Amino acid sequence: MKLRKNLLTLLIALMIPAGTLEAKGGRFIPETFDFQGTVDYIDLANGTVVVDDSVYHISNSTRVHGKKSKGNKASDLQVGQYVGFDAQETGSEQPYLYEVWVLSRDWRNRHPVKDD
């Protein structure tokens, strides 16, 4: 009976996605992103944000997952934050950021970018 319980616990632990292990305070953070970098500039009036010298579109529907809560708005982004995101092409010159995760300062050390 104890062996069954331990085996069940192990199976449940193996089913948890790897990204969930990065969660702090119940916050899910994906294991990888299309892009990650430091926010250089934010222009909410024009709906743009610059991350590592690249310009992206943002809007009121852009979800920002902050360190303390999830689902914040683009207005919660701050210059100097290290972020991870997946960008969506919209047919314009700059891709659109629909979801952004604010990452801890040591994220880069724990998740180095792999060259293809």
Q: Name the residue ranges covered by the structural domains of the chain.
A: 31-110
What rounded mean pLDDT belongs to the chain? 75
Lowest pLDDT segment from 31-40, 56-65, 101-110: 101-110
What pLDDT is attached to residue 105?
74
Confidence of residue 66 (pLDDT cuts 50, 70, 90): confident
Report yes or no: 73 and 62 within 8 Å, Cβ to Cβ.
yes
Q: Please give the average per-residue pLDDT across 50-63, as a whole number.
A: 89
d(CA 95, CA 5): 48
Amino acid at 13: A
Nearest-5° Cα angle at 95, 73 to 114: 95
Q: Please give the average per-residue pLDDT across 59-63, as a whole number.
A: 85
The residue that leads in pLDDT, 97 or 113, is: 97
Confidence of residue 61 (pLDDT cuts 50, 70, 90): confident
Report yes or no: 22 and 72 within 8 Å, Cβ to Cβ.
no
Q: Which three-class secondary structure state does DSSP give residue 85?
A: strand
Q: What is the CA radius of gyration of the chain?
A: 17
Q: Could you tell me which CATH class the domain 31-110 is placed in?
A: mainly beta
Model pTM? 0.68
The neighbour count for residue 66, using CB atoms within 10 Å, is 17
> Can you say whether the dihedral through the CA atoms of 16, 19, 22, 25 is positive or negative?
negative
